[in-house]
Amino acid sequence: MAMKAGWQFADWDLNVDTSASGSIYQHQCMTCGEKSGVAATAEGPDVWCLRHAGLTGHTDFRGAVTTFFRASLAEGSR
Ligand SMILES: [Zn+2]
């Protein structure tokens, strides 16, 4: 007896979604794990790193940029 399976595929598009927020930036100290605040540009977190370095002597940081996306069915796939 043969097995039969049906799959239906649709084309999806993925686009940056800025309806709620643009990209957000946050930096973190690699030594103690403390994090900057979240900001709409990297400038605030950059200044936080410099201030944190001055206060603690910690010199290694990482930065994360979070961008929001929304998937939608491509035209003609509905
Ligand atoms: Zn630190």
* C-alpha 62 – ligand 1 centre gap (Å): 11
Residue 45 lies in a domain: yes
Q: Which domain holds residue 67?
A: 22-73
Residue 55 lies in a domain: yes
* C-alpha 67 – ligand 1 centre gap (Å): 25
Residue 17 lies in a domain: no
Could you tell me whether strands 61-66 and 24-29 are parallel, antiparallel, or unpaired per DSSP bridges?
antiparallel
What whole-number distance in Å separates Cα of residue 12 and Cα of residue 35? 35
Residue 2 lies in a domain: no
pLDDT at 21: 87
* C-alpha 66 – ligand 1 centre gap (Å): 22
Cα 53 from chain centroid (whole Å): 25
Q: Which residues of the chain fall short of a pLDDT of 50?
A: none
Residue 14 lies in a domain: no
Residue 44 neighbours by CB distance under 10 Å: 15
Residue 12 lies in a domain: no
What whole-number distance in Å separates Cα of residue 42 and Cα of residue 22? 12
Q: How far is CA 38 from CA 9, 21, 41, 52, in A?
A: 38, 12, 9, 15
pTM: 0.74
pLDDT at 1: 61
Residue 3 lies in a domain: no
Task: Please state the domain count of the chain.
Answer: 1
Residue 68 lies in a domain: yes
